[in-house]
Amino acid sequence: MGFVATVREEAANTPARRNRVVDLWRAVSILVVVLGHWTMAAVTVRDGGLVPGHLLVLAGWTHPLTWAFQVMPVFFLVGGYANGRSWRSARERATPYGAWLRGRARRLTLPVVPVLLFWPAAGWLALQAGVDWRTLRLATSVALVPTWFLAAYVLVVALAPATVWLWERWGWWSVVAGGLAAGTVDVVSLGSGSVAVGFVNYLLVWGTLHQLGYAWLDGRLASVARRLLLAGTGLAAAVLLVQAGPYPVSMVGLDTSAVDNTYPTRVTLLFLGMAQAGLLLLLDPLAGRLVQGRRAWTLVVAVNARIMTVYLWHVTAMVLVIAASLVVGGVGLRARPLGASWWWSRPLWFLVLAVVTTAFVAGLGRLETVGPDPRPAPPAWRPLLAVAGVCAGLAALAVVGAVDSDGLSWVLFLVPVLAVVAGGLVRRPGLTHDARRAGITRPRR
């Protein structure tokens, strides 16, 4: 059965109990991220050379717009809802943690393997062709930006059973404690500049937003009053921190800022996420009616079926389009950024990038369709090994960089790939010997 037919069938057979709004906001958040990345690129070709440019650096008036375009907090919010529901379902079926985590990690990490194999090969070819290592370092750093957030999300998912336990016993106090810890660690990291301290806060901010998803799941944010309180508190706190503290207005990271709200993740993003969560929940009735429509819901199902592939490849697609333009003399990239012709060319720019991204999705999207795993439940350490290796490798790529004056950092690319294999996230086609011996058979279609 083809992809379109499968999506239509899944959309038509969606259980009535499913909260479709969760899927809608997941799809919207990733598509907004894609659009934001494509919009911020203000690259030009002059005298046969590439001139990097960033819209947020060139136009300060765009910084407040990042409060709407920085929607990764929404992705963690809906992730909390989905992962909380998934773990509770597994718990009711007495599914071991190892089996549950292996299933979640497979869907999240298998799509990143082609990216980590593509860039060493492409980088080697570029170096052989005479591309300066500094240019290649910039290209790989930009292309691998999505993996930085993926690393955080995979870790938060691995910790979901523990954070669900905290939520079920302490309720809102667990969220408050997470927020206070994030604020405290953030102050420490501002003074120390330590990568380790920043990484701890990175987890605390995204983990606390993930726990807000549990509150949504359990109906603790059902009233309009609570949604207004969440939105108002988050917005007021974020504005106060920006106005009175050292935090910049831009919620997207900039190398020109003394303090960066994104790398490492600051407490400002936690409060921005609270504001966004409250506002989106206020729109819940309208969003719910929208996704009841057959066409709208089918589109949401289609995007979610390939969401990781779109997220992981959309920046690589942009880098390749820029490289292709440079090869042919800068076609399409000669307009001066922020000029009238540059703005008029944006729709065509988006269209070209969408076509290239779609090609990647068509070729690699099937990796997201992992299907049921008939193998016996693994010991918990094995998928945890995969998660640790993937996150360590991706974090190292983000911090150290994939290219330096000595060439490509091959090992950093290989660490996550080997972790996926060693952690048992990849399996050979067909049933394993142990599964057949246990009497497990393939489901009939």
Q: Quote the DSSP letter at residue 429.
A: S
Mean pLDDT over the full length of the chain: 90
Q: Which residues contact 117 (CB under 8 A, 6 or more apart)?
A: 413, 417
Provide the terminal-to-terminal Cα distance of the chain, rounded to the nearest Å.
Answer: 11
Task: Answer yes or no: are the C-beta atoms of 59 and 338 closer than 8 Å.
Answer: yes
Looking at residue 429, its pLDDT comes to 59
Task: Answer yes or no: are the C-beta atoms of 236 and 275 closer than 8 Å.
Answer: no
Rounded (10°) angle between helices 195-217 and 267-282: 20
Res. 130: pLDDT tops 80? yes
The domain limits of the chain are 3-427
Looking at residue 193, its pLDDT comes to 66
Looking at residue 198, its pLDDT comes to 73
Residues 308-340: tens digit of each pLDDT = 999 999 999 999 999 999 888 888 899 999 999
Looking at residue 435, its pLDDT comes to 42
How many angstroms separate the Cα of 324 from the Cα of each of 288, 351, 356, 381, 436?
Answer: 42, 15, 12, 44, 50
User: How far is the C-alpha of 340 from the C-alpha of 346, rounded, in Å?
Assistant: 10
Instruction: Tell me if residue 404 falls in helix, strand or coil.
Output: strand
Q: What is the mean pLDDT of residues 72-83?
A: 95
| Polymer length in residues for the chain | 445
Looking at residue 371, its pLDDT comes to 78
377 vs 402, higher pLDDT: 377
Q: Which residues contact 407 (CB under 8 A, 6 or more apart)?
A: 127, 133
Q: What is the mean pLDDT of residues 32-46?
A: 92
Query: Residue 52, class by beta-carbon neighbours within 10 Å (0-12 exposed, 13-18 middle, 19+ buried)?
Result: middle
Looking at residue 428, its pLDDT comes to 66
**How confident is residue 441, by pLDDT bands cut at 50, 70 and 90?**
very low
Model-level pTM greater than 0.85? yes
Looking at residue 340, its pLDDT comes to 93
Query: Residue 331, class by beta-carbon neighbours within 10 Å (0-12 exposed, 13-18 middle, 19+ buried)?
Result: exposed
Residues 259-297: tens digit of each pLDDT = 888 877 899 999 999 999 999 999 999 999 999 999 999
Structure tokens at 59: 């136009």
**How confident is residue 373, by pLDDT bands cut at 50, 70 and 90?**
confident
Q: What is the mean pLDDT of residues 190-200?
A: 74
Task: Answer yes or no: are the C-beta atoms of 103 and 374 closer than 8 Å.
Answer: no
C-alpha 94 chain-centroid distance: 29
Element (H, E) at 71: none
User: How far is the C-alpha of 214 from the C-alpha of 209, rounded, in Å?
Assistant: 9
Residue type for position 147: T
Looking at residue 265, its pLDDT comes to 86
Looking at residue 397, its pLDDT comes to 87
**Of 275, 302, 339, whose CA–CA distance to 44 is shortest?**
339
**How confident is residue 402, by pLDDT bands cut at 50, 70 and 90?**
confident
Element (H, E) at 352: helix 346-364
Looking at residue 399, its pLDDT comes to 76
Structure tokens at 423: 């952690």
Lowest-confidence region among 3-17, 243-257, 262-276, 317-331? 243-257
Structure tokens at 394: 């991706």
Structure tokens at 438: 């246990």
Region at 211 (left for phi over 0; alpha for psi -120 to 50; beta for the rest) = alpha
Share of the chain above pLDDT 90, in %: 69
